Amino acid sequence: MDFQVTEDDNALRKAVAGICARYGNDYYTRKAEAREFTEELWTALGEHGYIGINIPEEYGGGGAGLAELAAVVEETAAAGCPLLLLLVASAISGEVISEFGTPEQREEWLPRLASGRGRIVFAITEPDAGSNAHRITTAARRDGDDYVLRGQKHYISGIDVADAVLVVARTGTDPATGAAELSLLVVDTDAPGLVAQPLPVSVALPERQYTLFFDDVRVPSSRLIGTEGAGFKQVFHGLNPERVTGAALLVGIGRYALARAADYANQRTVWDAPIGAHQGVAHALAAARIEVEAAQLMTKRAAWLHDERQPAGEAANMAKYLAAEAALAALDAAIQCHGGNGVASEYGLIPLWGLARVLRIAPVNREMILNYVAQHSLGLPRSY
């Protein structure tokens, strides 16, 4: 891994930041508080090739890797416009279909994903399964040339602005272990029998949350991604990128919060001195800056490992853990630095705090990351 920042990386980050600057955090805050998707910014990034920067060139993408996608995600957030849908449409769906899709599936979906004009969201979470994917009960049974899908998914982001959803479903049971055999199916969002029910949440986000009900939804077998029953392994080719881009989003949020706080601390004067001159303010911001920088390094390492096709699970989990803690520390310090203004809509910090707090829980919570590191990195007995 090379720590040298290249001209291409600088140019990419500057270009993305420039597009986002046309919109800014005021735009994001308005959209978040209205629960409206950031369509205009998404379209602008897509038109310039940044939504699908990780998709192969032959399908209209940028032909780059997860490292470049993570840079795009980070810079949108650092401009005060974090785009949560990049984690599912570009990182999960883009990576999974690029890797496991048939030539026909790639031709159908990748150009649309690359341009940003098509979106495929992701559905794995269920009310009763929690973090245990083997307990998924949403099932797809084969019926002639179709699969018939029945079950429920919970906390699914962006279904209202998507063309399709990549569904993780049980298609069998391993006779040796009793574990679920999972498969991946691309389901149109307007498929008969699919009902999306809005899920009210208190956090202000542009991406709305839904509970999905599949009532004998017929899905052509041509929509199966990869191999039936191998979905558990296949899905992690998307979940690791989701964790890496989630970490990048959190790093960007941390950068934005600290930049705003530093500006405020330099300008806000009390008792004839800028408040940034007081260690009670300065040290909290400085400590948060150190944590954000450390999280950024781990995020870059995890992206590099994925792009090099080396095992990236440990690094992706660690990056997501570090970045969530760092972003929340940065936001807490920034809000405290602003005093009462920290909760004012004008400064746009509270919606970002809500998003960062959500990402401390999802797509994998910090406790399960600690379990993973204890078991896989330290060799400790499994606790669950």
DSSP label at 230?
A: B
What is the spatial distance between Cα 45 and Cα 42, in angstroms, rounded to a whole number?
5
pLDDT of 294 strictly over 80: yes
pLDDT at 236: 86
Confidence at residue 179, expressed as pLDDT on a 0 to 100 scale = 81
Q: Are the beta carbons of 146 and 218 closer than 8 angstroms?
A: yes
Q: What domains are there in the chain, each with its CATH number?
A: 7-119 (1.10.540.10), 121-229 (2.40.110.10), 233-377 (1.20.140.10)
Residue 150: strand pairing partners: 139
pLDDT digits (tens, 9 = 90+) for 80-107: 999 999 999 999 999 999 999 999 999 9
Q: Can you tell me the distance from the alpha carbon of 361 to that of 321, in angstroms, rounded to the nearest whole number?
A: 10
pLDDT surpasses 90 at 53: yes
Rounded to an integer, what distance in angstroms lies between the CA atom of residue 339 and that of residue 330?
14
User: Is the Cβ–Cβ distance between 228 and 171 less than 8 Å?
Assistant: yes
Whole-model pTM?
Answer: 0.97
> Quick check: 132 pLDDT over 90?
no
Q: Average of pLDDT values for 273-289?
A: 97
- H or E element that contains 34: helix 24-34
**What single letter denotes the amino acid at residue 337?**
C
**Res. 130: pLDDT tops 80:** no
The predicted pLDDT at position 125 comes to 94
Burial of 374 by CB count in 10 Å (0-12 exposed, 13-18 middle, 19+ buried)?
middle
How far apart, in whole angstroms, are the C-alpha atoms of residue 131 and residue 362?
Answer: 10
